[in-house]
Structure 1
């Protein structure tokens, strides 16, 4: 996948106008009659689950990551690099984890149980089996409530300072007023106001719990490998050139099925697989995917990118306050045509929620909106009529900023501009810019407010598997208070789809989603495990095993 860090600035730029999370929360269980909270040791189950068939243990797996290694710091709360999570996300644990990213279902990790007795209180019960790894300076000691309080208070302080990278998305944490320890192993988060996305924030990409002994040494050398010591299922065993070697940590609360794991950057992946040096790799080059499919017994998985290709417009003033102009641009760049012309078919039409979301609009629903027709020519004809009726030709030159890392890789400055000029008229001109320039222009309202300009490229990475978070980040500024409240009071798939239809009508808020790109992940026969996810999922490697 393309490097996140070079365009992560957009995460803040696009969400700067977003509204705060709604006040309503769903209360999980009623509070008990006693004054002192008492949580079960784990999540309750309505009936004992069937005894699973034991999976084979032992062996090793060699994986290629989806992004190059470019570590900025091993301080999880100050990092903005996905490659950092490739290591820390396996060596450390979070309080909660996305147990099922595809189903947007949270599960336990360090917190074996959780309860929200009222909208201003969240209780977390630590897993009694959790221990820091048996490496200096931790020595295998238990994880305590004091450790977690230290982590949370440090995260809250950084969030309030506003010094964390934008991809940290610290908003939900800012609603926590204080962290209390009412009993051993029990953490109580007291909120100043309801924070419906707080649990998602505790499972966020960089929400990795690091011990006080390690955090105190970040200022001296933030990239010291000795700092890679946590309470996760894997223990860091060193680097072999660029490859990170990990060993199973069997004394903690989550024990992997494999004995060892190695993770390396996605370079020369097909050749390394053929040489027996890789067991799983992403096919970032479509030629590698075509060649991999001919290999005997290989397993293939589709992997959506975590970013949506989109454009944003400032719609508070002309010219883009006329929705017909946005509908014309959307119709000219028909999604099916874009997927083929720009990405050789490795993309799918995206609505306000991309196809990876379980609450995304189906393509049959999207077809009712400009730019999503099955026939690109039909969209093109309607687009030209809308453009002319709204006075589009009188705008003169329309500048389209295209990120430098997006072009020339996909030749967007040729493909996209030629299409617009052919359908709407010869008035579109490309400009290749760096992402920081585009991000600053988004924040300044440059793409509109009297300027005939917009940008086309990757948007911010999806914040989490929770569809509500993605909608708030991109469209929060365009949501009516009732719609924001509805996100949390009745956030079922049907209501989320209804909200997306309203957002697509006239492209409310000036955010025009285009497509979500796809890549492929290939896996060696005999290696089994969870299907790849576009989100961080190194914690799910504990389920990998070899069946032969």
Structure 2
């Protein structure tokens, strides 16, 4: 049997997701190399309040971003100027090292200087292998964990000694370490689960990370203070972190331009292309770095319900959608985007551009309103049909602009889509888990490996197979 390269394999499987990756501008102030000094407070902005502090109960970025300041993982994705864009190397976090004795056995040695935050009920005790086992056992067994499939290859977790833990897999998994590095796998303390249960209170957000969550003022800010017992010597440099909570992109931009926040004001700390000229005028000497943004839009439908059972209807929706209409006018992109399939361009060699797909794959992404009408007529809908689309304004006004373009495109083909706009918390707890009637429109979670982009949405046993794929 002839072998296929990863790109050849992906070329044969053009999906029908309606998505593209915008090129975001990451702005940085040019500074001369200098020795870091202790002190100061890092300030950034986020659109919404967190949906609690339980990493095993949500896929929401507004929970995962705050936890990134207070919590740690067994291993993590390496970041920094030495990392080539589009690559996601894995490095230790609370693990000191790891070995693989065979294709299904990984042994992790833990650092011996890691302590939980010195707050009740954990009170600064040492992190041990029992904590690692507890976290991942909980990850795999807690009801409703939307990311459970990340680690379903795990058969068991064994504590070998106080600082050594072994993972035994059911079968080889090429992406096991990448899955362990997911932001869904922050380590949690048994005492916090037993005392607080749902981890919605500030007091429950206890980790081993560089800062400790001190207070949460809903709709105003999250305030973190330096962890004096952080296990990386000399770090963190900053005495604190403040996350300002502001729904208005214009207000966030003004705060950044006015020096009230230190990082760029949008999701993933970027600047919208619409705002870039203003930023350059008001911040002379500003430098910008462009990179493929891994955020993907997702338009979904219930495959077991009419009219979406018919593949011709699904193809009609795809061909009625213009990526140019979406991204030429959107504030984030203004025409700068990379048309892509199921795996985003930000994953480098794992992503295949649409123009490199096979003939059938390319056809499914081609904008052709007349062909969409023909497909609908062939499926028994010569006059189109009406449908509802569940979505949320919680992703911001630019996302809603994207959804409105979809609605207009579909209307031109005879599909009358009515939006059911949900509050963000309701959307995350219902629509994200497949609780919608006909269609949905949202954003996909971000991953550092291709498997989750393919498996999470399309494997029948996945908790987030919200479309009902079963083939």
TM over 0.5: yes
Deviation at 1:412, TM superposition (A): 6.1
Work out whether residues 248 and 255 of structure 1, in 8 Å CA contact, stay in contact via their aligned partners in 2: no
CA distance in 2, matches of 1:392, 1:338: 28
CA distance in 1, matches of 2:51, 2:316: 42
Work out whether residues 325 and 392 of structure 1, in 8 Å CA contact, stay in contact via their aligned partners in 2: no
Deviation at 1:238, TM superposition (A): 4.5
- State which of 35, 43, 49 in structure 2 corresponds to 1:69: 49
- State which of 348, 356, 360 in structure 1 corresponds to 2:351: 360
TM-score (norm 1): 0.62
Deviation at 1:119, TM superposition (A): 3.7
1:155 is paired with a residue whose SS is: helix
Q: Give the structure 2 partner of residue 298 of structure 1.
A: 286
CA distance in 2, matches of 1:444, 1:136: 37
Matched, 1:271 2:254: yes
Matched, 1:230 2:207: yes
- State which of 342, 357, 363 in structure 2 corresponds to 1:370: 363
Q: Give the structure 2 partner of residue 431 of structure 1.
A: 418
Q: Give the structure 2 partner of residue 309 of structure 1.
A: 297
Q: Give the structure 2 partner of residue 211 of structure 1.
A: 189
Distance 1:273 1:414, change over 3 A: closer
Work out whether residues 256 and 265 of structure 2, in 8 Å CA contact, stay in contact via their aligned partners in 1: no
Deviation at 1:325, TM superposition (A): 4.5
Distance 1:380 1:80, change over 3 A: closer
Q: Give the structure 1 partner of residue 18 of structure 2.
A: none
1:123 is paired with a residue whose SS is: strand
The unaligned stretches of length 5 or more in structure 1 are 1-52, 448-454, 479-507, 512-548
Work out whether residues 71 and 206 of structure 2, in 8 Å CA contact, stay in contact via their aligned partners in 1: yes
1:383-462 maps to which residues of 2 (within 5 A)? 383=372, 390-391=378-379, 393-394=381-382, 396-399=384-387, 401=389, 403-405=391-393, 410=400, 415-422=405-412, 424=413, 427-434=414-421, 443=434, 447=438, 455=439, 457-462=441-446
Alignment deviations for residues 70-93 of structure 1 (CA, whole Å, 9 cap, x no partner) = 342x34434554333333322221
- State which of 340, 346, 349 in structure 2 corresponds to 1:350: 340
Distance 1:290 1:319, change over 3 A: same
1:293 is paired with a residue whose SS is: helix
Q: Give the structure 2 partner of residue 124 of structure 1.
A: 108
CA distance in 2, matches of 1:111, 1:71: 28
CA distance in 2, matches of 1:417, 1:226: 43
CA distance in 2, matches of 1:274, 1:176: 47
Once the two structures are overlaid, the 10-residue window that deviates more, 88-97 or 233-242, is 233-242
Once the two structures are overlaid, the 10-residue window that deviates more, 436-445 or 341-350, is 436-445
CA distance in 2, matches of 1:251, 1:315: 49
Q: Give the structure 2 partner of residue 259 of structure 1.
A: 238
Q: Give the structure 1 partner of residue 15 of structure 2.
A: none
Work out whether residues 402 and 457 of structure 1, in 8 Å CA contact, stay in contact via their aligned partners in 2: yes
CA distance in 2, matches of 1:88, 1:407: 21
Once the two structures are overlaid, the 10-residue window that deviates more, 173-182 or 320-329, is 320-329
CA distance in 2, matches of 1:329, 1:273: 39
2:137 is paired with a residue whose SS is: helix
Matched, 1:176 2:169: no
2:346 is paired with a residue whose SS is: coil
Matched, 1:247 2:247: no
CA distance in 2, matches of 1:154, 1:104: 26
Between Structure 1 and Structure 2, how many residues are aligned? 407
Work out whether residues 221 and 244 of structure 2, in 8 Å CA contact, stay in contact via their aligned partners in 1: yes
Distance 1:381 1:199, change over 3 A: same
Deviation at 1:244, TM superposition (A): 1.2
Distance 1:266 1:367, change over 3 A: farther
Deviation at 1:336, TM superposition (A): 1.8
1:315-334 maps to which residues of 2 (within 5 A)? 320=308, 323-334=311-322
2:410 is paired with a residue whose SS is: helix
Alignment deviations for residues 188-231 of structure 1 (CA, whole Å, 9 cap, x no partner) = 12344555544333222231213334333213x84443444332
Q: Give the structure 2 partner of residue 105 of structure 1.
A: 89
Distance 1:257 1:477, change over 3 A: same
CA distance in 2, matches of 1:440, 1:283: 24
TM-score (norm 2): 0.71
Q: Give the structure 1 partner of residue 448 of structure 2.
A: 465
CA distance in 2, matches of 1:477, 1:465: 22
Alignment deviations for residues 103-149 of structure 1 (CA, whole Å, 9 cap, x no partner) = 13222111122223234322111123323344555555432223323
2:347 is paired with a residue whose SS is: coil
CA distance in 1, matches of 2:122, 2:440: 48
CA distance in 2, matches of 1:274, 1:341: 23
Q: Give the structure 2 partner of residue 58 of structure 1.
A: 38
Deviation at 1:264, TM superposition (A): 1.4
Distance 1:55 1:441, change over 3 A: closer
Deviation at 1:457, TM superposition (A): 1.8
Work out whether residues 309 and 456 of structure 1, in 8 Å CA contact, stay in contact via their aligned partners in 2: no
The unaligned stretches of length 5 or more in structure 2 are 1-32, 80-84, 462-467
CA distance in 1, matches of 2:172, 2:313: 39
Deviation at 1:187, TM superposition (A): 0.4
Work out whether residues 255 and 261 of structure 2, in 8 Å CA contact, stay in contact via their aligned partners in 1: yes
Q: Give the structure 1 partner of residue 9 of structure 2.
A: none
Work out whether residues 98 and 107 of structure 1, in 8 Å CA contact, stay in contact via their aligned partners in 2: yes
Cα RMSD after superposing both structures: 4.1
CA distance in 1, matches of 2:452, 2:328: 30
1:265 is paired with a residue whose SS is: strand
